[in-house]
Amino acid sequence: MRIKKDFVLREVFGKDVIVYNGLKAIGFTKFLVLNKSATWIWKEAQAQGDFTVESLTERLCEEYDVTNEEARSCVTELLEKLDKEGVIEK
């Protein structure tokens, strides 16, 4: 999976949000607000380029004191939301 190139993370009024970047943004009226862990996962996914649920889960476990099950649940939930909104490509 990859994050589509036209989506970027921005800080808006103290909140981390995903927005569509570029001229096509005129038709994109959503802001996807991320919490702290979702922001970390987004940044890690960007850093990895091509990522999987497993690769993000592993890195989340390395970075934070969470179980593999907790990390996988968090990663899966975020990726499902991003997929639903058309932010990632498989």
pLDDT digits over 27-69, tens only? 556 678 999 999 999 999 999 999 999 999 999 999 999 999 9
Q: Which residues pair with 33 in a beta bridge?
A: 17
Q: How confident is the model at residue 26 (pLDDT cuts 50, 70, 90)?
A: very low
User: Token digits for 14?
Assistant: 């103290």
Instruction: Tell me the pLDDT of the chain averaged across its residues.
Output: 91
Which one-letter amino acid corresponds to residue 35? Answer: N
Q: Would you state the pLDDT for residue 27?
A: 55
Q: Rounded CA gap, 81 and 85, in Å?
A: 6
Please state whether the predicted TM-score (pTM) of the whole model is above 0.75.
yes
Rounded to 10°, the helix 53-63/36-48 angle is 120
Taking the mean position of all CA atoms in its chain, how far away is CA 48?
12
